Amino acid sequence: MTVGKRKIFNSFFQGLCRSMAFLAMAVLIVILVKVVTNGVGVINLSFLFKAPREGMTEGGIFPAIFGTVCITMLMIVLAIPVGVSAAIYLTEYAGKNFLGRIIRASINNLAGVPSIVFGLFGVGFFVLFIGRGMDKILGIPLLFGQPAMLWAASTLALLVLPVIIVSTEEALNSVSVSLREAAFALGATKWQVVRNVVLPQARSGILTGAILSISRGAGETAPILFTGCAYFLPRLPVFTIPYVHIPVINPLDQFMELSYHIFIMATQSTNVAATRPIQYGTTLVLIALTFLLNLSAIIFRIYFRKRPR
């Protein structure tokens, strides 16, 4: 091949790869521009802090924002302990043995399961099996055995579990061998090494997993479709403690959620023209909210990284 030809090939492939990279970026930009230009007009305080009216053609989306924030936080609270413990077992105890390999393969496959399957599993397992089962054991009328925030968050937690496990595993593996050795040489047990040396070092990596799982979980619709989110609720999923009058989030209540709200406005509305601006506005809020949740997790991570420990 001549020198000239090689040079042409070189620049051709460089250009090709570069345009593909720009294509990926362009998709994001187009989505953002479209959503922002169409949605920013409807956003104002009453849109953010009021409930929908007139069959979703008017009013705000506050219940959906509230539900999204609640369910994402509940999801993280449920998923982190399970995911981190599993990752600790896999890296520190199971290592590369047969059992460890099988568990790891299962987790990788779990990550590939379509989200609608998680949704159906959530109904079958959490709502019907666990929920109804609890009602039966406690001998009470229907309380746990119906779609609720708790079950939806549990289903989402399962969905993001592989993300948390894989990123935590990476974080644990990156803790230097010499620090582990130092602790073992002082007579630390495995758990003491994990607790006092490995986890503090891996903390920011674990938080990265949390960030990724928030991104993954916050916008999901399918897993919560049957497990707890509602088309429309006249009230927030809040429960007031008697006598002291402190409102708390009620995880056994149903909730509204942004992505599901977009879905029903787009497919179930009788007046599409009237809901279209609200759809754009809701989409913008969902994207912004995911971004905000991510941002807070990033700030949290920087804070932990800086603290000398």
Partner 1 sequence: MKVEHGIKGQQKTKIKLEELTFYYGKYKAIDNVSMEFLECKVTAIIGPSGCGKSTLIKSINRISEITNDVQVEGKVLLDNKNVYDRDVDLVDLRRRVGMVFQRPNPFPKSIYDNVAFGPRLYGVNNKKRLDEIVEYSLVKSALWNEVKDRLNQSAIGFSGGQQQRLCIARALAVDPEVLLMDEPCAALDPTATARIEELIEDLKKYYTIAIVTHNMQQAARISDYTGFLLNGQLIEYNITTEMFTNPDKKVTEDYITGRFG
Amino acid of residue 170: E
Which residues have CB under 8 Å from 265's CB, separation 6+?
Answer: 56, 275, 278, 279, 282
Q: Measured over all CA atoms, what is the biggest interatomic distance in the chain, rounded to whole angstroms?
A: 88
* Binding flag, residue 181, partner 1 (CB under 8 A): yes
> Which residues make Cβ contacts (< 8 Å) with residue 206, sequence separation at least 6?
80, 84, 164, 167, 168, 171, 199
249 interacts with partner 1 by CB under 8 A: no
Residue 294 binds partner 1 (CB under 8 A) = no
Q: Which stretch binds partner 1 (CB under 8 A): 82-90, 155-163, 196-204, 264-272?
A: 196-204
Rule CB under 8 A: say whether 308 interacts with partner 1: yes
- Minimum distance between the CB of residue 81 and partner 1, rounded to whole angstroms? 24
Is 188 among the residues that bind partner 1 (CB under 8 A)?
Answer: yes
- Among 121, 125, 184, 239, the residue binding partner 1 under the rule CB under 8 A is 184
How large is the C-alpha radius of gyration of the chain?
Answer: 24
Helices vs strands, H then E, count in the chain: 13, 4
- Is 309 a binding residue for partner 1 by CB under 8 A? The answer is yes
From 32-40, 183-191, 211-219, 265-273, span contacting partner 1 (CB under 8 A): 183-191
Q: Work out which of 2, 3, 28, 178 binds partner 1, going by CB under 8 A.
A: 178
Q: Which of 259, 274, 256 is nearest to 56 (CA)?
A: 274
Give, in order, the Cα–Cα distances in Å from 108 to each of 82, 100, 102, 241: 16, 12, 10, 43
Nearer to partner 1, 141 or 308 (CB): 308
Interface with partner 1 (CB under 8 A), residue from 51, 179, 252, 266: 179
Decide: is 187 part of the binding site for partner 1 (CB under 8 A).
Answer: yes
Q: Using CB under 8 A as the criterion, which residues of the chain lie in contact with partner 1 when the complex forms?
A: 176-189, 192, 196-197, 201, 308-309
